Amino acid sequence: MIAGSAHIGSVLHQVLGAGPHLDHVLTVPPGVDVEVPRPRPRAEALAALVAESRRDAPNPPGHHDPRRPDEGNAERLAAFFADDAPTVVYVGKLSREKGVHLLLDALRGLDARAVIVGFGPERQALEQAAEGRVLFTGALEHRHLAQLWPLADVSVTPSVFPEAFGMVAAEAAACGSPPLVARHSGLAEVAAGLAEEYPMARRDLVAFEPGDAGDLAVKLRTLLALSPYERAELGRAAGSRPPLELGGNRGSPAGNKSQRLSTVTVPG
């Protein structure tokens, strides 16, 4: 049996109970296709993002499909990124358990703009709650995200519900965008792996206290106050950690045998 993180290994222990069956559980975190999500120069990434958005099929408001990109994203993204203001990106479902409301709360009073990617039942409420420069794009595909993440000064995963693994954080890291995640479940494992690559003085900037918009705001303010060079250094550090080493390879409370692989490519 394969568990995608030590967190999932511990869940298996809770559900199945102790026993020899746990000796056959391998902790193998999901892979990231690092040939696609990778750091890119800003101008190149923006041009590619706009080009990919122009390829999107029509999705007019009257017949809007929430699982597809919003109509007019190419023009809106080009205008949004016309300047170099600090940018925070969220990618995921727009539902309460994903904690996007915490991110919007944390952004209030910060000199930053945000791109919110995804669809879900909370979108309308989140759009109404958003203040300042916040762009909602609807769902995006990996062909878009591989260009968007290199434009992000910080990528936030603020979930308030346990996550099996922080795949979005791992993909953002592969693009050189420093992830900032809630410190729990599989996300905490990703944060621990990233922290090992950061300078000692910056290791607390990989995660924030779960459900705490104030702590998230403090971490965001600190990250965005860094010079562009310092943030780029963190991005390079985040991207230097092989995705399979970001979590789940140190065993779990389930007493499982962990397996370390050098490369796994997930079809894009």
Going along the chain from its start, the domains and CATH numbers come out as 1-28+248-268 (no CATH), 29-247 (3.40.50.2000)
Check residue 36 and give its pLDDT.
Answer: 61
Query: For residues 246 and 242, what is the distance between their CA atoms, to the nearest angstrom?
Result: 7
Query: For residues 206 and 201, what is the distance between their CA atoms, to the nearest angstrom?
Result: 11
Instruction: Assess whether pLDDT exceeds 80 at residue 191.
Output: yes
DSSP 122: T
User: What does pTM read for this prediction?
Assistant: 0.84
Check residue 127 and give its pLDDT.
Answer: 98
Q: Are 165 and 5 in contact (CB under 8 A)?
A: yes
142-146, 159-163, 193-197, 240-244: the lowest-pLDDT one: 240-244
Check residue 135 and give its pLDDT.
Answer: 98
Most confident option among 17-21, 60-64, 121-125, 228-232: 121-125
Q: Model confidence over 209-254: pLDDT tens digits? A: 999 999 999 999 999 999 999 999 999 999 886 554 554 444 333 3
Average of pLDDT values for 66-94? Answer: 97
Average of pLDDT values for 190-195? Answer: 92
Burial of 74 (0-12, 13-18, 19+ CB in 10 A): middle
